[in-house]
Each structure stands twice: as structure tokens, then as C-alpha cells.
Amino acid sequence: MDRVADLASQDSGGVPSDLLGDYLPMLAEAATYGRFPGRTQIDAVRQQGRRAADQGVAAGRGVDLYLSAARRVWTELPVVVRARNNAAVRAAATAVLQVVDDAVASFAEGHAEAGRERVRREETVRRELVEDLLRGDAHLSELVERAEPFGLDLTRAHQVALAEPRQRLSSIAAATTALERVVLDRFGDRDVLVATKDGRVVVLALAEATGAPGMSDGLNATGDLGKIVHGELNRLRQGSPWRVAVGRAHPGAYGIARSYEEAREGLTMATRMQVAGPIVETRDVLTYRVLARDQPALVDLVQSVLNPLREARGGAAPLVETLAAYFDSGCVATATAARLHLSVRAVTYRLDRVKSLTGFDPLDPAHRFTLQIAVIGAKLLGWPEQAITNAD
């Protein structure tokens, strides 16, 4: 049996022979006495399959070990056993085949079970790591240690891209899997993570690989990451179109959290401000972020400038919408009318109403800036659809 185990190990490319466990005695008893294996013996083989998976032995090579062992046990049987009558030989062969069938199936099942458990453990570890990296409040030395198995060098500059579907998806697992293959192929398998958070796809990549500058200053474009993520996700039939926001590259572990926060705010601002482009970079919404950070002052501005519009027939919303379209159209009444599907006369009437109610003339360059900032603030605050209160 020792010789059979060694030869079977060689046949299978060096798979450790101790993974056979009690398989050889089971084969010998089946061939000699026609005994079939019991449940306990088969369960023991399943544990060998789990051991093989834990040791990194592929399932196919493990099966080769078991099949080679069966073949060699049969050929190594004493002549007196193989010279029995035909009925006895057939019974022995049937028992051996049954042992092989049960053992191989059990070994493969145990191997698969261990593989699934390992994937679940790795996915849990990955998810917890991503959560801590994006929050940025974990202990630095602990983060570095946990990130190392995933090939992340937290001393370098990384950036984060966030993607969310415009339509509700029952699951974004398929999108994440498809995107991960492309991202890994494009940027390599180090310093890259693809995960999900709050119904969005998160992509973490090294700044150098994405073409983004590895620095925190300036309003440079964030590189190719957003284009790659958006292009791949839009290939999917379900959930398209997608909107992708990309944070700037920042160095260090806490730079990842900063880049994520920029991307997250980018998605929020793009939705509130009805940004048309599918790819949002930090520089596209930086002005909105600055305004939103001083919310008490923003509330005061909106209330002081635009609140009188509530007195208009139909409320403030149509007039605010007209002002927004007017500013977006370069302060040209005809372009504003075309955008709102109104007559030019209706547009000029609404602009006159704004002037009479607020005291600010949209046609006056001295008043225009105040009105435009107030309209932007109203969008950021969701006014007039949502009520706002002054911090005082």
C-alpha cells in the first residue's frame, strides 16, 4: 500500500499521498471481500477533500490521485485474488468501482465546500477592509496589515470611483463581477479593489495606473478610471445608464477615505444639480461643495433672496426653474424659452416677476450673480420642494 500511495502521488503530479487517508484499505477490502464503504468512511474522505482545498491542491489533481490509486490497487492485488471465479471477480470489481465512485464524489464535495467557505471568508474580510478604508477611522498599522494580502500599498496614492445605476437593480453582483475582470485586466491585480457599498459599485485603484496625478492639490482631471468604469458598466443590459463619480488621488490610507468622500459628494451634487454628464469629476462639482459646506449661510441667502417668490401665483418653483434655465442658457431669453418650451414673452414675464418680487433684476449684471448663487443654493437645498429653516 505504501508503494501504491507513492506511485499514485507521482502519477498525480506530486499531490501528497497522505490525502488518501484510509482510501487504500477501503479499496483493498472491496477487492478482497466485496465490502462497500460505510457512511463514516465516506465522510472521512470528504474531510480529505477539505484538507486538499486548504493546502491549495486543485480538485482535479486530487481526483487524479484517487483514480490512480484505484488503478494501481487493482493491478497490485495478489494473483490468488484475481484468479477467483468470474462471479467473484465481478463482485470485487463492482465493489471497487462503488468505492471509487463514492470516494471521488465525496472528495470533490469536500473540496468544493471548503472552497465556498474560503470565498465567503475572503469576501467578508474584503468587505470589512473596504468599509474601514472608506470610513478612514481604523488604526493605520492594522489597516496596513489587513490590506497587504489584497496587494494594497497604503503608502501610495489611490483614487476611488463610485458608480450607481440610474435604474433600480435587484442585484449589482453581476455588474461588479464583470467590472472586476476588466479593471484587473487594465490596472493589474495589485492596488486594485472592486466592491459594493450602499447599492453602488466601488473601485479603488492606484493613481499611477489610472493616469491620475498622485497629489492632493490642483483641479487636474482624475485620469482614465471614470471612463473605463462607465464604459464597461454601460455594456450591461440591465441597470444602464450608469453615472460614475471619481474622487481625486490622495496619498496614504486616509487619502482613500478622502477620495471616496469626494466621489460620494460628486454623485450627490450631480443628482441635485442635474448635471448632464455621465462621468462626474471632483472639479465639476467643487463649487457646489464649497457652497454646501456653509449651509447656514446658504439657507440665509436662499431665504433672503428667493423666499418672496412664494407669493407668485403658482408658487416659487416655476420662477426658480426659469431663472436656472436662463442662467444655463447664457442669459439669452430665446434659448431659455426653447429649453422650457415656452414663448419668449412668457420667459420675459417671469423674469419681470422675479424682479418685482425680490428686488433683484436678472437682466442687471450687478444683481445677476446674487440671483444665480441663490438659485444654485436652492437646488442644493432642494428648495422650494423641501422646507428649509434658518440656523438662527
Question: What is the domain-level CATH number for residue 302?
Answer: 1.10.10.2840
The answer on 98 and 154 residing in a single domain is no
Question: What is the DSSP-derived secondary structure letter of residue 309?
Answer: G
* 59-70 burial: b if 16+ Cβ within 10 Å, else e: beebbbbbbbbb
What's the grid cell of residue 356? Answer: 418685482
Last residue of a domain, one of 290, 313, 343: 290
What pLDDT score was predicted for residue 327? 93
Contact indicator for 244, 162 with CB cutoff of 8 Å:
yes
Question: What is the DSSP-derived secondary structure letter of residue 202?
Answer: E
The answer on 267 and 298 residing in a single domain is no
Burial grade of 308 (CB within 10 A; 0-12, 13-18, 19 or more): middle
The answer on 161 and 202 residing in a single domain is yes
137-156 confidence digits (pLDDT tens): 888 888 888 888 888 888 88
In a domain, 365, yes or no: yes
| Domain count of the fold of the chain | 3
Contact indicator for 20, 81 with CB cutoff of 8 Å:
no
For cell 458608480, the residue is 163
| Domain coverage including residue 196 | 143-290
Residue 55, amino acid? Q
The answer on 309 and 286 residing in a single domain is no
Sign, CA torsion 318/319/321/325: positive
Contact indicator for 284, 266 with CB cutoff of 8 Å:
yes
The answer on 271 and 207 residing in a single domain is yes
Contact indicator for 111, 51 with CB cutoff of 8 Å:
no
Q: State yes or no: cis peptide before 241, omega within 30 of 0.
A: yes
Which residue positions in the chain have pLDDT lower than 50? 80, 215-221, 391-392
The answer on 305 and 233 residing in a single domain is no
The answer on 191 and 163 residing in a single domain is yes
**pTM of the full predicted structure?**
0.63
In a domain, 95, yes or no: yes
What pLDDT score was predicted for residue 84? 60
Last residue of a domain, one of 118, 153, 188: 118
The answer on 246 and 161 residing in a single domain is yes
What's the grid cell of residue 76? Answer: 497490485
193-217 confidence digits (pLDDT tens): 888 888 889 999 888 877 766 544 4
Question: What is the DSSP-derived secondary structure letter of residue 392?
Answer: -
In a domain, 52, yes or no: yes
Residue 339, amino acid? R
Find residue 164's DSSP bridge partners.
243
Count CA atoms closer than 13 A to 378's CA, side-chain side: 25
> From the CA atom positions of the chain, what is the Rg in Å?
34
How many C-beta neighbours within 10 Å does residue 34 have? 16
